[in-house]
A = this chain, B = another copy of it.
Amino acid sequence: MSSIWGKNIRISIFGESHGKAIGVTIDGLPSGLLLDMDKIESLMKQRAPGRTPWSTPRKEDDKVDIISGMNKGYTAGTPLTGLIYSNNTKSSDYEKTKNIIRPSHADYTGHIRYKGHNIVSGGGHFSGRLTSPLVFAGAVAMQILAEKGISIEARIYSIGGIADDEINYCREFTSAQIADSNFPTVSEIKKEQMINHIMQCRENKDSAGGVIEIAVNSLPAGIGSPIFDNLESNIASILFAIPAVKGVEFGAGFDIADKKGSEANDEYEIKEGKIVTKTNNNGGILGGISNGMPVFARCAIKPTPSISAKQNSVDIDLMENAELEIKGRHDPCIVPRAIPVAKAAVALAVLDTYLSQAEI
């Protein structure tokens, strides 16, 4: 099963980059939720290309047409399907080189997996464009979470090795800490440095990667389960569904492995009548279950594989070495546009986990 996710709320994503439409069906939504279409569109716009110097100039509207499951602005409770119609496709750019597999893309693996029958134009079902319906679904999930007081925020943690400023992980991370939702960092200075790095990469026909940090605020303690259905597994399983993600960590993440227990352990104390931890190296999750502290996850985004510089590759039809020059309009750095995608993914994972503890 490739494109269905979730246990309690279930999303089914379909479509190919250059097909007539891509979309998502969300099954298991409560009825009577008033959908705030402005908020949904606002999140989708953050993902849409063509709006900033550091993204591809390719324009896509990414307007969602809800064809089922909505009744006078409210969720009907039955499957909600949103379609995003395609426009502005330039297949020709892709056609020319389609036998020469692009390094670090899914051209080769998709070809083997589907025995040459997969749709390759624009990346087909593997395209980053398929994160657009994911953002839509996540935006809906966020509205349900918001009713419970839970919010999801994210920032650019680093790009090309340039790290944003440290934050206090015992406090909630709020949008007030971010000046620019299109390039969300805490530090203005670091933002400039990151943008400079991206622009330089573009100039050099190269690309940049980075790390995104996502915070879940006000998640009550007790959400998640031991062993398999834990909050970390659920979040990781959907974050790794975002193309280009090569790592996921929580709290201190990989750095915790270098620490000693006495440094890593988050000691408890009572503060204003509530049990809190003095540090948050575990990122708000213990034994797979939220502990009431802010949840922090990070995911590593590899540099955009599509670079304009000449690369070595292979022609899979001729089965011989070949050189490749990728034309087309590509993001020198996908990290800023991946921010709403990561938020959407985490929102869906948190909601699905939360729902597994719903009671009759």
User: What sequence of 0s and 1s flags, for each residue 305-343 of chain A, a beta carbon within 8 Å of any chain B beta carbon?
Assistant: 111010111101001110000000000000000000000
Give A229-273 interface residues, CB cut-off 8 Å to B. Answer: 229-230, 232-234, 236-238, 240-241, 243, 245-254, 256-270, 273
Listed stretches A53-61, A106-114, A166-174, A184-192; interface member: A106-114
Task: Kindly list chain B residues whose C-beta atoms are within 8 Å of the C-beta of A98.
Answer: none
Residue among B2, B81, B309 making CB contact with A226, cutoff 8 Å: B2
Contact A67 B20 (CB under 8 A): yes
Q: In the complex, A32 Cα to B114 Cα: how many Å?
A: 8
| A63, CB-defined interface residue at 8 Å | no
| A71, CB-defined interface residue at 8 Å | yes
Give A338-360 interface residues, CB cut-off 8 Å to B. Answer: 354-360
Contact A286 B104 (CB under 8 A): yes
Contact B254 A13 (CB under 8 A): no
Q: In the complex, A201 Cα to B302 Cα: how many Å?
A: 36
User: What sequence of 0s and 1s flags, for each residue 52-87 of chain A, a beta carbon within 8 Å of any chain B beta carbon?
Assistant: 000000000000010111010011111111000000
Contact B221 A112 (CB under 8 A): yes
Task: Kindly list chain B residues whose C-beta atoms are within 8 Å of the C-beta of A259.
Answer: 209, 302-303
Contact B227 A241 (CB under 8 A): yes
Task: Kindly list chain B residues whose C-beta atoms are within 8 Å of the C-beta of A302.
Answer: 252, 256-257, 259, 264, 281-282
Contact B319 A270 (CB under 8 A): yes
Most buried by B among A22, A229, A257, A314: A257
| A181, CB-defined interface residue at 8 Å | no
Q: In the complex, A313 Cα to B267 Cα: how many Å?
A: 6
Give A1-56 interface residues, CB cut-off 8 Å to B. Answer: 1-5, 7-8, 10, 12-16, 19-23, 25, 27-28, 30-32
| A99, CB-defined interface residue at 8 Å | no
Contact A287 B243 (CB under 8 A): yes
User: What sequence of 0s and 1s flags, for each residue 268-301 of chain A, a beta carbon within 8 Å of any chain B beta carbon?
Assistant: 1110010101100111011111111000000011
Task: Kindly list chain B residues whose C-beta atoms are within 8 Å of the C-beta of A22.
Answer: 68
Select from chain B the residue with minimum beta-carbon distance to A157: B257
Contact A360 B360 (CB under 8 A): no
Contact B114 A309 (CB under 8 A): no
A sample of 12 inter-chain contacts (CB < 8 A) reads: A1-B228, A3-B226, A8-B8, A13-B227, A103-B277, A106-B289, A158-B258, A204-B260, A206-B261, A267-B311, A267-B312, A354-B360
